[in-house]
Amino acid sequence: MPEAMKNVSHSGSNLGLDGFEQIFDEPNGLESLTTSGGLPNQEQLEKLLGRLTELIAFSVDQRVENARMAGQLIENQRQLVATQQILIRLMEKSIELTKHISTIEEKLPLIFELPKLVDSIRDRLIHIEGIDID
């Protein structure tokens, strides 16, 4: 950085700003702009002011719309979180039901064997008691 400052100070006033000094050196520099039509007339000013008003109104409308959309987005996110919580509860209940069903399925073969077991016990009882069934 110090080297850059040395280069600028050694290069003199030739910084590629030809004509820049003329604006400030001429005593009538600004007056020549106003007399040559450099500034817009009243009709142009009114058009520019009208356009600026439209742009500001559009900007305000956009900000209001953005705020509305942000509010809607926040509400949607709340609903999404609530839905996710409901889904989590449903999944927990589903896991509990699956465990319960698994235990029932494990016991089903024993339940299906009960009629055979009852018949076997009945046959033993009949044999032990010596009852004749015709």
Beta-carbon contacts of residue 89 (< 8 Å; ≥ 6 apart): none
Q: What is the pLDDT of residue 59?
A: 95
- Tell me if 82 is assigned to some domain: yes
**DSSP assignment, residue 75?**
H
- Tell me if 85 is assigned to some domain: yes
- Tell me if 16 is assigned to some domain: no
* Half-sphere CA count of 53, side-chain side, radius 13 A: 6
Cα 36 to Cα 31, 32, 33, 40, 42, distances in angstroms: 9, 6, 5, 10, 15
- Tell me if 108 is assigned to some domain: yes
- Tell me if 48 is assigned to some domain: yes
Please state the domain count of the chain: 1
Per-residue pLDDT of the chain (134 residues; tens, 9 = 90+): 454 444 444 544 455 555 545 555 555 544 544 444 555 688 999 999 999 999 999 999 999 999 999 999 999 999 999 999 999 999 999 999 999 999 999 999 888 898 999 999 988 988 888 877 76
Domain that holds residue 33: 22-129
- Tell me if 14 is assigned to some domain: no
- Tell me if 29 is assigned to some domain: yes
Q: What is the pLDDT of residue 8?
A: 47
Q: What is the pLDDT of residue 50?
A: 92
Are 54 and 47 contacting, i.e. CB atoms less than 8 angstroms apart? no
- Tell me if 10 is assigned to some domain: no
